[in-house]
Amino acid sequence: MININKYFIIILLITVNCQAKRESPVIYISNNSAKPLTAINCDFPNHHISLSHINPGETRSQAFYISSEKEFFGQIKCFWSNNLNEKKISDFILEKKHLPSFDDKFEYPYIHIFLDQDSYEIITNDIIDYTNKSRMMDERMSKNHKQAILDKFYNPDQSLIGVENRNIAQ
């Protein structure tokens, strides 16, 4: 009988522990510049997320498990190195009022951190976007991504077909 009680208590503790944790809102990190960014680190109140590099126009996302909102909301510091290897720092406070959908089980709460070579922008899913900032950021990221591909792969000296304009009439 004692063995059954031990297993019951262990299962109960595991169940209670699993129910106490929940997934945090998703954190999106995007490179909104025309050059790569490296050594990206963001410190949340109880978690550290990092990314070794991110190319122009790319986005990465991450969530983690939290026991309470205190592990997500509060002072957040992000560090990254720009293309000139200069270390940039952003420091902001994320409060529950910035993300009211945090407690709504039917919503998909997220924060989106757009990093540039020297600056950053933060958007949450709960911010009313009167100025279409998120659309403008997406368009800029798409343009930077396409340009980065051209810069990396396009070499006119190695094109398969060369064209030269010769005016025979002269």
pLDDT band (50, 70, 90) for residue 19: low
Tell me, what CATH number does 68's domain have? 2.60.40.2890
The b-or-e profile of 132-158 (16+ CB within 10 A means b, else e) is eeeeebbebbeebbeebeeeeeeeeee
Q: Is residue 69 part of a domain?
A: yes
Among candidates 86, 75, 103, 73, which has minimal Cα distance to 33? 86
Residue 28: the pLDDT is 92
Q: Is residue 166 part of a domain?
A: no
- Give me 60's structure tokens: 């990465």
Q: What is the pLDDT of residues 50-98, one digit of tens each?
A: 999 999 999 999 988 989 889 999 999 999 999 999 999 999 999 888 8
Q: Which residues contact 152 (CB under 8 A, 6 or more apart)?
A: none
Cα separation of 109 and 102, whole Å? 6
Residue 83: the pLDDT is 92
pLDDT band (50, 70, 90) for residue 116: very high
Q: Is residue 8 part of a domain?
A: no
Range of the domain at 110: 23-151
Cα separation of 38 and 81, whole Å? 5
Q: Is residue 18 part of a domain?
A: no
pTM summary value: 0.74
Q: How many domains does the chain have?
A: 1
Q: Is residue 10 part of a domain?
A: no
- As a whole number, mean pLDDT of residues 18-39 equals 87
Other CB atoms within 10 Å distance of the CB of residue 27: 22
